[in-house]
Structure 1
Amino acid sequence: MFTVDSISIKYEQKSIINNFSFSAKQGEIVSIIGPNGSGKSTILKALSRLIPYHTGSVVLEGTDLKSMSAKQVARKMCMLSQKNQAPSDMTVIDLVSYGRYPHKKWFERLDNEDMEIVHWALEKTHLTTYKDRPIVSLSGGESQRAWIAMALAQRPKVLLLDEPTTYLDISHQHEVLELVRELNQDMGMTVVMVLHDLNQASCYSDSIVVVQGGEKAMHGTPNQVMTTDMIRKVYRMDSEIQYIPTEKKPRIHLLSTVK
């Protein structure tokens, strides 16, 4: 479905990401975790072609990303950044409608089919009653849902999320991640997201990629990755890992910084 093979990324001749590889299966949620400055968001930007990668390849549904036009990529993949901004007078439905433009010709108007998809995206993200409200009037969680609705309107096969819970309080973090899981399960959408919170990554991911110093340190299921040894080596923290049979995913309790 989505394969990243040995990519390397440089900024002004300085190596940021080295020989990085991972793959995501159809309908899988993959979280990328690691300390600040490890290169997590840089990887996501390269996967979405916001920045170039210098060596290696990214293959989406059997096609090399570099051989695809921007419109072809937008039809199959959508990325949402940490913080997204819309014009002050833009309404929710206006924003969501932008998701249809990768499927239209230059200057082609949205038709009835497009608007049906827009309203479907609003319904899926529980925003139908908010459709005429300005984006700036929404709460953090509501605003994030609106941007996800725009992404849904694109009908992408892959959704890339760069720290989708940043700037949100705990209840809105939960709301957004539950929505991501709901869309993944209902639509079979592949999700690759960067997360800071280890317990969120453990709870909501099918697999986790650990990045350290611009390189892949580990890749596996939450049970394989979330170990006291990994947390000590990568985050320099002592921890306890709790396994609750009813949850099936490990719960991490951070204790103290390694001296």
Structure 2
Amino acid sequence: MLAVDRVCIRYEQKQVIKDFSFQVADGEIVSIIGPNGSGKSTLLKSIARMHPYDKGQITLNNTNMKAMSSKEIAKKLCMLSQRNQAPNDITVENLVSYGRYPHKKWFERLNDDDMQIVHWALEKTHLSHYKDRPISALSGGESQRAWIAMALAQRPQILLLDEPTTYLDISHQHEVLQLVRELNQEMDMTVVMVLHDLNQAAAYSDKIVVIQEGCCKCIGNPKEVMTTCMIRDVYKMESEVEYVAWDQAPRIHLVSAVK
């Protein structure tokens, strides 16, 4: 579905992503992990066409994304950043309705079909009873769900999430990631997200892509990627990786910095 092929990305004169390649299959949840400053968010922004890349190619359904219009991409792909801003007085329903505009002509109004999709997105994100509340009145987890609902209203094939759990407490982090998994399982929605927490990446991902200094360190399922050697090499931390019979995902316990 989505292929990143030998992509190189620069900020001014500095190359931040170097000859990077990976693929995302239809219906997968893929997490991109790596230390701060390794290029995770930059790579995601380039996939969303929010930042240009110098070399290589990114294709969506075998079509070079550079050849696609912004409107065409918006119908297939949606990205949510770490922090999303909206006027304080905008209601949840109004925010979610913005997800329909990629499907409308200039100045064309939303019709009954559009509003049915908006209400469906609110229901999927468990926000129907909050639809008339202003965004400013929501908790962090509720607000993040509202933005995800807006993305759902676009009916994208791929959802890109840049650190969706940042600034949230533990319970809201769990709430948002559970919602992501629910959307993936019930709607076969493909998800690519940047995560900091190694245990969250292990628990919620089909595939993990590890970035180190702009290069692809390794790619694989959580059991293949989450090793003490990878964590030592990439994060400079000694760790213990635990497996329990009733849980598919490995559990990572950070022990100490590498001496």
Q: Same fold (TM over 0.5)?
A: yes
Structure 2 Cα separation of the partners of residues 4 and 39 of structure 1: 14
Give how far 1:38 is off. Answer: 0.3
Instruction: State the match for 1:179 in structure 2.
Output: 179
Deviations 1:29-59 (A, max 9, x none): 0000000000000000000011101101111
Instruction: State the match for 2:41 in structure 1.
Output: 41
Deviations 1:144-179 (A, max 9, x none): 000000000000000000000000000000000000
1:212 maps to a residue whose letter is: Q
Secondary structure of residue in 2 paired with 1:246: coil
Deviations 1:90-131 (A, max 9, x none): 000000000000000000000010000000000000000000
Give how far 1:14 is off. Answer: 1.2
Deviations 1:181-230 (A, max 9, x none): 00000000000000000000000000000000001000000000000000
1:18 maps to a residue whose letter is: K
**Gapped regions of structure 1 (runs ≥ 5):** none
Q: Which runs of 4+ in 1 moved over 6 A?
A: none
Instruction: State the match for 2:196 in structure 1.
Output: 196
Q: Taking structure 1 as the reference length, what is the TM-score of the superposition?
A: 0.99
**Gapped regions of structure 2 (runs ≥ 5):** none
Instruction: State the match for 1:227 in structure 2.
Output: 227
Instruction: State the match for 2:216 in structure 1.
Output: 216
Structure 2 Cα separation of the partners of residues 190 and 61 of structure 1: 12
The answer to whether 1:169 aligns with 2:133 is: no
Structure 2 Cα separation of the partners of residues 111 and 54 of structure 1: 41
Structure 1 Cα separation of the partners of residues 188 and 158 of structure 2: 10
The answer to whether 1:207 aligns with 2:207 is: yes
| Stretch deviating more after TM superposition (170-179 or 53-62) | 53-62
Report sequence identity in percent: 69
Instruction: State the match for 2:159 in structure 1.
Output: 159
Instruction: State the match for 1:62 in structure 2.
Output: 62
- Matched ranges for 1:91-106 at <5 A: 91-106=91-106
1:33 maps to a residue whose letter is: I
Structure 2 Cα separation of the partners of residues 240 and 12 of structure 1: 39
Instruction: State the match for 2:28 in structure 1.
Output: 28
2:246 maps to a residue whose letter is: T
| Stretch deviating more after TM superposition (240-249 or 142-151) | 240-249
Instruction: State the match for 1:118 in structure 2.
Output: 118
2:249 maps to a residue whose letter is: K
RMSD over aligned CA atoms reads 0.4
Instruction: State the match for 2:86 in structure 1.
Output: 86
Secondary structure of residue in 2 paired with 1:179: helix
For these two proteins, the number of residue pairs brought into alignment is 259
Structure 1 Cα separation of the partners of residues 62 and 47 of structure 2: 15
2:154 maps to a residue whose letter is: Q
2:208 maps to a residue whose letter is: I
